[in-house]
Amino acid sequence: MAALGRSAVAALRVGVVVLNQDDQPVMVNPSARKLGLVGAGDQLDAAVCPLTARVRRTGRARRVEVDLPRPVRARGERRESCGVDLRIIPLEGGHVAIEAVDVTEAHRLAQARRDLVANVSHELKTPVGALRLLAEALVEATGGDDGGAVSPSRMPDVEAVRRFAERIRHESTRLGQLIGDLIELTRLQGAEPLFEPKPVVVDDVITEIADRISTPAAARGIEVLIGGAKGLVAQGNDGQLRTALANLAENAIAYSSEGTQVTISGCRGDGMVGIVVADQGIGIESKDLDRIFERFYRTDKARSRVTGGTGLGLAIVKHIVTNHGGRVDVTSEVGKGSTFTVWVPVCPETDVSESEG
């Protein structure tokens, strides 16, 4: 029976350690070792010893969170810490039992939420502050006094009113885009059930997005081209893929100059379908390539304010592609342009035939 109990403890994902009165482990399961609770030579981590001593002295159980160094498994591997929720329980004869739960991921998510709230608060201040200042200027331009009433002795400055109204429309549109992107990103990261994969005709997606960006592209003197492999069918969610591709295409237009080209094309390889968006724009520095998919990360804050980006487009792209079981590749050279390739699973032949039928 004792052997059965030890086997059951060893199989637990929760770390379990039983210590004698000298803090020497008499039972350690594999999960406890993985968490770094017990190190080489069966030595209890030094940060835990004062806690077990206090539990013995008071005779009362204690619960606390600590950071423990995660064991290094290979030479050259970077040592990382993990957050561990400890429950320390006094037993008979001075023995102590420790139950350990890895809460590293929970801490990471909590920090990500705090960062998101801080970033959102910062990003919302700009358009909201601009709207307030523009509204005050608009009141002034219409001859309003400090109380907001219009003075009959002053004629409204029609040109100023028109200019401020246009700016208010611009800032309110930007605010609406930011809120919409936040809602979309929250939905993609949330606990909603994933979509049911269905066949997605890539040619249709590319054609629609190219048509969607044709007007703003023409206004900037940018040519939009369609190319690559035809007849590709991906497996996924049509609406989400259109959203991802639209974000990439709109970025390509925003960061390209007059007289350049933006190309949207399809390709295939290793059981995946690729959708490529290539531009001849300003490009991205190599030091920024690893961070461009982070929320609110901008390589050029001044340029982003001019283009009206929310800083969430590429984060949305990343989450959509991840939800599809795919990836996003990016290559770029400053002054020559960028190429983004979205890879998603190809639709099995059975699904293609069913969709065509």
Phi, psi (rounded to 5 degrees) for 342: -95, 120
Write out the two tokens for 133.
């200042």
pLDDT at 306: 47
**How much is the pTM?**
0.54
Task: Tell me the three state secondary structure of residue 115.
Answer: helix
Q: Of 176, 192, 208, which one is at a domain's C-terminal end? A: 192
* pLDDT tens sequence across 293-315: 876 666 555 444 444 555 677 88
Phi, psi (rounded to 5 degrees) for 337: 120, 180
Query: Do 220 and 337 belong together in one domain?
Result: yes
Q: Are 245 and 343 in contact (CB under 8 A)?
A: no
Residue 277 to residue 11: CA distance in whole angstroms: 49
* pLDDT tens sequence across 20-51: 988 888 888 888 888 888 877 778 888 888 88
Query: Do 187 and 200 belong together in one domain?
Result: no
pLDDT at 45: 82
Q: Does 238 or 184 have the greater pLDDT score?
A: 238
Write out the two tokens for 81.
């810490």
- Which CATH number belongs to the domain containing residue 310 in this structure? 3.30.565.10
Q: Alpha-carbon dihedral of residues 129, 134, 140, 146, nearest 10 degrees? A: -20
80-89, 170-179, 278-287, 342-351: segment of lowest average pLDDT? 170-179
Domain range spanning residue 176?
104-192
Residue 314's alpha-carbon distances to 65, 190, 196, 244, 245, in angstroms, are: 35, 17, 23, 8, 10
Residue 223 to residue 256: CA distance in whole angstroms: 10
Query: Do 114 and 165 belong together in one domain?
Result: yes
**Helix (H), strand (E) counts: the chain:** 10, 12
Q: Which residue has the tokens 């991840």?
A: 322
pLDDT at 279: 94
The most confident of the ranges 101-110, 205-214, 319-328 is 205-214
39-53, 105-119, 123-137, 199-213: segment of lowest average pLDDT? 105-119
Degrees, nearest 5: CA angle 258-284-128: 80
Query: Do 309 and 324 belong together in one domain?
Result: yes
DSSP 234-301: EEE-HHHHHHHHHHHHHHHHHT--TT-EEEEEEEEETTEEEEEEEE-SS---GGGTTTTTSTT--S-H
Query: Do 221 and 316 belong together in one domain?
Result: yes
Q: Tell me how far the alpha carbon of residue 285 is from its chain's centroid.
A: 21
Query: Do 131 and 238 belong together in one domain?
Result: no
- Which CATH number belongs to the domain containing residue 26 in this structure? 3.30.450.20
* pLDDT tens sequence across 262-296: 999 999 988 899 999 999 999 988 888 878 887 66
Q: Which residue has the tokens 């990382």?
A: 80
Query: Do 280 and 179 belong together in one domain?
Result: no
pLDDT at 239: 86
Query: What percent of the chain clears pLDDT 70, i.e. is strictly above it?
Result: 70
- Which CATH number belongs to the domain containing residue 186 in this structure? 1.10.287.130
Residue type, 186: T
* pLDDT tens sequence across 212-240: 899 889 999 999 999 999 999 999 888 88
Q: Of 136, 167, 192, which one is at a domain's C-terminal end? A: 192
Q: How confident is the model at residue 155 (pLDDT cuts 50, 70, 90)?
A: low
Q: Of 174, 192, 210, which one is at a domain's C-terminal end? A: 192
Query: Do 344 and 207 belong together in one domain?
Result: yes
* pLDDT tens sequence across 62-105: 998 887 776 655 454 455 667 888 999 999 888 999 998 888 77
> What is the tally of structural domains in the chain?
3
